[in-house]
Structure 1
């Protein structure tokens, strides 16, 4: 009986010791100062927001992030501050065991630039984002379109973004009359009359078939406009 009591006391003492060591280590870890901030941009993107701007966001409402006790840093709050930035789509902020604060940043991706009194980008979701001080995106210029009309023209912008041929060649999109659009290519000076934003896949497919034939015939420089408005037809106006 004595032996059982001794064994029980032994294991109880060992358990208390382990709990104490764990609590001590955790307290020391919580009190450890954040020694370094590391910013990582996920995916290969142009720098619409730079590391300096992210660091400013990390510290603006938290005092100094470095040399601050970990227990007073609320990571969710830091993420919310980053996600509120108009150039950032999503962020993930976490602490390493060595006291390093890491922020993984996914930037928003612009697909067009709208020419307005105050110009702005349209991103892949159809949202409006401001121009960047760090980088100018090489995207098509949209003209004669207001911010209120972005949702109307967005399907056209998205289709251009998804189609490698049009993404490579289109430099501008203009609204000619209400709800009707035309495109301009980088090399050739003819207008591509899309008309209303409907049946875009079919219109683009028809144009590419025309383009390949005209390229072989070396007639592309002879056109003033190419209209895709009519069903399964490409109607050209010669200069």
Structure 2
């Protein structure tokens, strides 16, 4: 009885040692494998700023191209951080697939507005992060002027998001200008007139007034009679011809 139990323990121990040996052997072989051409994938959406070849160029370590290096020599965390440093990248993941392929999945930043400045023009995304202009692509987004610093960006970001959520406003408002006294004026698609929006208070109320005014003037075709539509005063729309 004791002998049988001893044999069971011996077989179990032999099995554990064998599995450990096989795992160690396969791991060494796996990490010694040479990496083929890296695979780059972009998440669904507009991917206009970066190309597969541009991301491949980011996958460089110690001035050596990733391809034809052993898996064990790669610092995946370092490669991932290198890709993330690119200003057009919002998220990135660098990993080996089950088949041993080095794969990089990238989500590009999506600009929602272009900040126009005499010194420096750039895009911003939904988080207010600066995205540089690109020689490869020019995004068709809201043009915003009068922005001087990051605080101005934080202030105007909620307004931009409200405009983009509304199908009509998204098509109608093409530009926003901030004045030195913190008031805002809109350029529109449907005519040569401007919208004097005032300060960023009672935003929803002002847009409701503007839409009501549009409904009336579009219907009676009088919208082109005005050069300025002022919605910053309480319970009224003041127009200048």
Q: Same fold (TM over 0.5)?
A: yes
Secondary structure at 1:221 match in 2? helix
Distance in 1 of aligned mates of 2:208 and 2:29: 65
Partner in structure 1 of residue 229 of structure 2: 226
Secondary structure at 1:229 match in 2? coil
| TM-score after normalising by structure 2 | 0.90
Aligned length: 238
Partner in structure 2 of residue 203 of structure 1: 206
Secondary structure at 1:193 match in 2? strand
Distance in 2 of aligned mates of 1:61 and 1:228: 59
Partner in structure 2 of residue 47 of structure 1: 48
Distance in 2 of aligned mates of 1:163 and 1:198: 18
Distance in 1 of aligned mates of 2:75 and 2:6: 46
Q: CA deviation at 1:62?
A: 6.5
4+ residue segments displaced more than 6 Å: none
Report the CA distance shift for 1:77/1:227 in structure 2 as closer, same or farther (over 3 A).
same
Task: Kindly provide the CA deviation profile for residues 27-63 of structure 1, in whole angstroms up to 9, marking residues without a partner as x.
Answer: 1111112213111111312412222221111125562
Q: CA deviation at 1:124?
A: 1.0
Q: 1:140 touches 1:171 (CA, 8 Å); kept in 2?
A: yes
Secondary structure at 1:155 match in 2? helix
Partner in structure 1 of residue 19 of structure 2: 18
| TM-score after normalising by structure 1 | 0.91
Q: 2:61 touches 2:79 (CA, 8 Å); kept in 1?
A: no
Q: CA deviation at 1:155?
A: 2.9
| Aligned-residue CA RMSD (Å) | 1.9
> 1:76-225 residue pairs with structure 2 within 5 A?
76-117=77-118, 118-148=120-150, 149-225=152-228
Distance in 2 of aligned mates of 1:58 and 1:135: 22
Please list every run of 5 or more consecutive structure 1 residues that lacks an aligned counterpart in the other structure. Answer: none
Q: CA deviation at 1:192?
A: 0.5
